[in-house]
Amino acid sequence: MRPYTFAQPRSVREALRGAGPDTAFLAGGTTLVDLMKLEVMTPDHVVDINRLPLDGITLDHKGLHIGALERMSDVAADRTVRQHYPMVAEALELSASAQLRNMASIGGNLLQRTRCGYFRDVTTPCNKREPGSGCSALEGINRGHAVLGTSDACIATHPSDLAVPLVALDTVVHLGSNRGTRTVPLETFYTLPGATPHIENTLRPGELVTGITVPSSPFAARSHYLKVRDRQSYEFALASAAVALELRGRTITQARIAVGGVGTRPWRLPAVERALAGRPATSATFEAAVRRAADGAQPREYNAFKPALLRRTLVRALTELVESR
């Protein structure tokens, strides 16, 4: 690990003072510390933000507000979250391990770096780690990599479980810097790799995630998150689905669908949402609606199974949601 300066500010203003491209903010440290040890990330300044007043879970007429420093396990266990936004709690409970969930923050989870093995191996080319060096995954071991939103420069899968239901529910992320504050829809906060895969989001140098707001909606309470993976714990998704439905009787009036494990960012599926709206909540409807779920997919040698797995995951998630609620 390379040398760096360390600070423990007590206010957001103090934390942001002098923050720039070479500053890293430390919350749970479950990603940052690992990457610093591997020298994948080499910040000059590390700012411990754990003393900042960026916690809290509240619900009002605008929606659910969660501070960036709330721990994943606390949000997952919160009664308000479980009652009004069940797939958020489910996604958190299916993330990482219990020990990591006790440490990791909500803001940190949304900003975690890719788990692509080539990104973490400094002896191999990786455009995310060293722009212009190449992408080893293109012709390498790419079973867990993305099939949607990829480019010739990167096929790394977005790692966050939590971001998938948050994107489905039109969540916004609150950002602060010494220039002021701004709010960005989470779906547009994440960027496609294109020719610049090292730019993963629209966060500006010296900017800090301060919290998120999940809007109130008629369908959030009837929602479900399903994660398909090689083993039942401590494993990243091969495919995942966040599904939310508003029903009138057995007819779907609105749907919100996003998927993970298959895209370079959390992947919203508006075509599937439109195909579900106005239709009965039946297996036939689900099977027909998901036919376009993998439109535009570009599978590689070892992940060619993912489009079919994605469609099956969506049908199963929708079926489980309707049958259980």
Contact of 293 with 310, CB cutoff 8 Å: yes
CA–CA dist 206, 202 (Å, integer): 12
Contact 133, 280 (CB under 8 A): no
CA separation for the pair 271, 265 (Å, rounded)? 17
Sheet of strand 5-7: strand arrangement:
5-7, 45-48, 23-26
Average pLDDT, the chain: 97
The answer as to whether 140 is a domain residue is no
CA angle 185, 186, 188 (to 5 degrees): 70
Mean per-residue pLDDT for 265-291? 98
Query: Does residue 245 belong to any structural domain of this protein?
Result: yes
Query: Which residues lie closer than 8 Å to 202 by C-beta, 6 or more apart?
Result: 184, 188, 189, 191
* Closest to 256 measured CA to CA, from 292, 222, 297, 283: 222
* pLDDT at residue number 83: 97
- 43: in domain: yes
216 pLDDT tier (thresholds 50, 70, 90):
very high
35 in a structural domain: yes
- Whether 267 is covered by a domain: the verdict is yes
* Whole-number pLDDT of residue 43: 97
pLDDT one-digit tens code per residue, 150-177 = 999 999 999 999 999 999 999 999 999 9
Q: What is the pLDDT of residue 265?
A: 98
Tell me, what CATH number does 244's domain have? 3.30.390.50
Q: Residue 294: which pLDDT band, with cuts at 50, 70 and 90?
A: very high
Which of the four pLDDT bands, split at 50, 70 and 90, describes residue 325? low
- The pLDDT of 19-25, averaged and rounded, is 94
| Tens-place pLDDT, residues 177-196 | 999 999 999 999 999 999 99
Exposure string of 247-269, with b = 16+ CB inside 10 Å and e = fewer, is beeeebebbbbbbbbbbbbbbbb
Mean pLDDT of 215-232: 96
What's the pLDDT band for 19 if we cut at 50, 70, 90? very high
From residue 203, alpha-carbon distances to 2, 207, 230 in Å are 24, 6, 32
> Taking the alpha carbons of 27, 30, 31, 34 in that order, is the dihedral positive or negative?
positive
> How many domains are contained in the chain?
2
Q: Is the confidence at residue 235, as pLDDT, over 70? A: yes
H-helix or E-strand spanning residue 48: strand 45-48
SS3 content of the chain, % helix, strand, coil (to 5): 30, 25, 45
**Full domain range(s) for residue 40:** 5-50
Query: Is residue 213 within 8 Å of 63, Cβ to Cβ?
Result: yes
**Percent of the chain at pLDDT exceeding 70:** 100
Is there a domain that residue 275 lies in? yes
Question: Within a domain: residue 98?
Answer: no
pLDDT band for position 296 (cuts 50, 70, 90): very high
**Domain contains 259:** yes
The 10s digit of each residue's pLDDT in 67-112 is 999 999 999 999 999 999 999 999 999 999 999 999 999 999 999 9
CATH code at position 44: 3.30.43.10
